[in-house]
A and B are shown apart, each in its own frame.
Chain A
C-alpha cells in the first residue's frame, strides 16, 4: 500500500510539473526561446496568493484569481520589455535576458518578503480520501492537483484546435515568417502564449505550495528546471509530451526518494532524462528534425 501512496503523490507532483512544463513547451514551440524565468513566475504567483490569503485573510479562490491575474500581467510585461526587443537576435541572447529576468524576480521577492520561508496555507480545504480501510490515504491536494491538470490539458488542447488564436499559435510555431505573411499578428500571438503560460504558472504555484508549503524567493527555481526537463523529456513543443514528461518525472522522483535515496532523487531523474534523450534525441513525442543536404 505504501507503494501506491508514493505512486499517487508522484503522479500529483508530476501533474504540477506538467502544468509548469506547458508554459515552457508553449513558449518554446511558438517563440523558440527557453524562458528560464518561468520558474520564478510560479514563485511570484505563489507569493501573490500567499499575500491575499494569509495576509489579507481572503478566500483562496480570490487568491488564485489574483495570482493568475498578476502572473498574466507579469508574463505579458516581461515579454514586451525584455524578450520582444530580441525577437530577431540569437537564441543565446534571449536566454541570457531570461536569466536576467529570473534574477530580477527573485531579488524583488527577496526585497519584499525576505529570505525566510513563509508558511503557505493550502488552497485545498477538502478532507483527505481514506481508502482500503485506512491503509491508504490520498491527500485531497493530490486529487485536486491531478484533476486540475487533466482539466487544463483538455481545455488547452481544445483552445489550440478550436479557436482562431489557437490556430494562429500553431501557424506561428510552424513558420513565423509565413504566418506573418498570412496576416497573423505574430507579436500578439506570442504575447497571448506568454499570458497563458504565466497564468498556468500561477495555478501550478498554488498547487505546488499546497503540497510543499514552504515558500521562499527561490521556490520556483528547482521545480522550474524539473518542469523544463519534463518538457524536453516528453518532446519540447508537444502538449501531450509535457503531460507524459511531467507525470513520468514526478513518479520517478517520488519513488526514488522513497526507495533509493532522497539525496540522489534529482540525480536519478536527470539520469533517466539523459537515457531517454540518447535513445530518442528529441524526446518521447518530439518531432524528428532532418537536416536537408
Chain B
C-alpha cells in the first residue's frame, strides 16, 4: 500500500465510522430521554461527543505513525497501523458511549474541545515563525563554522568558488557580504526615494483634498499597483525600463549597464507606492478633525494646516509606513532577480550593475550546488541577516502603529 492509498483507507473509514458513532451516541441519549431522564445536553450533542472521542484516538495514532515515518523511525506496516487505529477508535467509542448519562455535560465538553482546537490553530502562525528561524539558523551556523563572522560582515569580496568544478577548492571562496548589502541598500534607497514622496503626497491628496467620488475611483486604482505580481514588475523592469535608462543615460553622455541598479530601484519604488499611500492614508484619517479646525480657526490655509498640524501629528504613523516599505524593498526578490545584475559590485553609481542579497540567495539555491556546499550555506547566512533586519523594521513599525492608534482612540 502506498501513502495515498493508506490515507484514503484511513479517512474513508473514519468518516462513516464517525457517522455511526454519532448515531449511537444520539440514540442512547434519546432512549434515556424517553425513559424520562432529564438530559443535560441535546441528543445531537451527545452524538458529537461520542463521535469526537471515537475519532481522536484514531487520529492521534495516525499522526504519531505519520511523524514516525517522516523522521525515519521504522514503523510496522500500514495495515498494522490501520488496525491499531481502528482498535483505538473502538475503545474510544465504547468508553464515550458508556459515559453517555443524563449527568454528562456533553455541550460543555464540545465547547472545551472547540476551544482547544481553535487554540491549536492559532499556534500554527507561531510555529511558522519558529520554522523560519530554525530552518535558517542551523544552516547559517554551519556556514559560520566555516567562515568567520568578521570576514562575512566586513569583507568586500564575494566570490564563492563552485565546488563541482574540478581543480577548484571551496576553501578559496571569499564571502565578504559588504558589496551585496551595498547593492541592496542602493536599490532600496532608489525605491524609497520614489515611493515615499509619491505615496505620501497621494495619501495627503486622498485624505485631505479628494472628493468622495475621486476617492472611490482612485483608491482601487492605486491598489491595482499593489496587486501586480512581482514577477511581472521584474519583466517590465528588465525589458522596458532598463533599456530606457540606458538610452536616457546615453543621451546625457553617460554609460549605463543593461543590468543597472536604477531600473529595478525605480520599478520597486512604484510597487511600494500603494503600501505607503494606503497606510499613510489610514494614519492621516485617524487624526481628529478638531486639530484641523483649530488650525483653520487661527487662519491657516489648508496646506499650512497639513504641513504644520496634520503631518507632525501623523509623523509616527508615516514613519512606520515607510519602515514597512523599506522592509518590503529589502526583501523584494523577483524584480532584482530579473532586472539587477549578478556581479557583486561595490560602487556609488546606480548606472552600474549591482547585485543584492536576495539575488545571491536565489542564485545559490537554484544552481547545481550540493546542499552542503559553502555557497548554499552562505545563502542561509544571508537569509538570516535579511530576516533579522526585516524583523526589526517590522516590529518597530507594528509597535509604533499600535501606540499611534491607541493615542487617538
**Chain A bound to chain B:** no
A residues within 8 Å of B by Cβ? none
Which residues does B use to contact A, with CB under 8 Å? Answer: none
